[in-house]
Amino acid sequence: MSDKQITTRIVLASRPEGRPKPDNFRLETVRLPEPSKGEVLLDILYLSLDPYMRGRMDDAKSYAKPVAIGAVMEGGTVARVVESADPAFKPGDIVLSHSGWQSRAIAKASEIRKLDAKAYPVSTALGVLGMPGFTAYAGLRNIGKPKPGETVVVAAASGPVGSAVGQIARIMGARAVGIAGGREKCDFVRDELGFDAVIDHRSTNFAEELAAACPRGIDVYFENVGGHVWSAVAPLLNDFARVPVCGLIAHYNATAADLQGPDRLPATMRDILKKSLLLRGFIQREFADQRPDFEREASAWIASGRLKYREDIVDGLENAPAAFIGLLDGKNFGKLVIRVSNT
């Protein structure tokens, strides 16, 4: 067996209680088998780190199965074909795969997709042109449905989902108000991405500042975080406001005890009734048939400078656990990607 068969991988060593710790992960080196008919051997170039991975670390019923203890952490990857036992792929092809936190992998040819390495930096297939960008597009197009002149608010606004939400909302003619953590991220969202206004959710006057930035109330709130951001947004929602519920990162590290608190459901339900609000959760793959539309439109928007993006690239697979823990604390600045191999 050649060295090409050796992979370094990060497995789930134990399930976290609350915030993940480095010892919830374990680095291993193992030998892979030769690819069988219909399979390819991949060298992983980039690994996407995404908030949903926190949910996969818990043994709880959700929309996807948890990662088993001892199994490779899951994740989207961009990879190069090293060996192919399938006629559709040849060595050197760059592909999108879901190979997880490892340096090499065997993948089924039916589950990978060729990327055009000349069109855009291939890492964008994990961000602005990939799952997070599509999440923004699908949530706005199908649920938020902003009309020209309406106010759209989104938090985690410097990240891959939020940054695309605000920019696409503006392309649709709406006014985009971003929420981000800290001065540097806020400056980027306003000055580089072109949002109409941005508020720092760490400010002591956050709720008042958000109200001032939304003088005509909020028509679409693209919910990425929950927590104190939702508390500040809820009173500002207009009649018939739409709330695509995309993510609740403020609660991903919550334990069962943390989720016990004053029961705010009656007040929320009263608002939903009185203001005819639409709150609609979604997982992007529900709208998978719109992916070709998204790829066509988003590529054109990037080419014309209307859709900008920022990547936060960290070198080395061994740094993935720390980078992921930081993502849940807002330490990333842009789409968090691990550069697994430079070659």
Ligand X SMILES: NC(=O)c1ccc[n+]([C@@H]2O[C@H](COP(=O)([O-])OP(=O)(O)OC[C@H]3O[C@@H](n4cnc5c(N)ncnc54)[C@H](OP(=O)(O)O)[C@@H]3O)[C@@H](O)[C@H]2O)c1
Residues that bind ligand X (CB under 6 A): 50-52, 132, 135, 155-156, 158-162, 180-181, 185, 201, 224-225, 227, 229, 246-247, 249-250, 282-284, 327, 330, 332, 336
C-beta of 112 vs 250, nearer to ligand X: 250
Give min distance, CB of 268 to ligand X, in A: 18
| CA neighbor of 52 nearest in space, from 317, 328, 326 | 328
- 238 close to 219: Cβ distance less than 8 angstroms: yes
Q: Which residues, other chains included, contact 210 with Cβ-Cβ below 8 Å and sequence gap of 6+? A: 153, 177, 179, 199, 232, 233, 236
C-beta of 170 vs 310, nearer to ligand X: 310
Which two structure tokens, joined as six digits, stand for 163?
A: 């940054």
Give min distance, CB of 36 to ligand X, in A: 32
Which residue in the shown chain puts its C-beta closest to ligand X? 159
Binning the chain into helix, strand and coil, the percentages to the nearest 5 are 35, 25, 40
Torsion, Cα 4 10 11 12, to 10 degrees, reads -170
C-beta of 109 vs 155, nearer to ligand X: 155
- 32 close to 104: Cβ distance less than 8 angstroms: yes
C-beta of 109 vs 177, nearer to ligand X: 177
Give min distance, CB of 274 to ligand X, in A: 26
- In the 8-state DSSP scheme, what is residue 189? I
Give min distance, CB of 105 to ligand X, in A: 22
Give min distance, CB of 49 to ligand X, in A: 8
Scored b (16 or more CB within 10 A) or e, 109-130 reads beebeebeeeebebbbbbbbbb
Give min distance, CB of 124 to ligand X, in A: 14
C-beta of 100 vs 330, nearer to ligand X: 330
Give min distance, CB of 175 to ligand X, in A: 20
The rounded distance, in Å, linking the Cα atoms of 276 and 272 is: 5
Torsion, Cα 198 299 136 150, to 10 degrees, reads 60
Give min distance, CB of 32 to ligand X, in A: 29
Beta strands 39-48; 104-108: pairing state: antiparallel
C-beta of 89 vs 188, nearer to ligand X: 188
Q: Where does 59-174 show beta strands of DSSP type E?
A: 77-84, 94-97, 104-108, 113-114, 151-155
C-beta of 41 vs 161, nearer to ligand X: 161
| CA neighbor of 14 nearest in space, from 6, 23, 4, 5 | 23
Give min distance, CB of 51 to ligand X, in A: 4
| CA neighbor of 161 nearest in space, from 184, 193, 118 | 193
C-beta of 162 vs 321, nearer to ligand X: 162
C-beta of 112 vs 161, nearer to ligand X: 161
Radius of gyration (C-alpha) of the chain in whole angstroms:
21
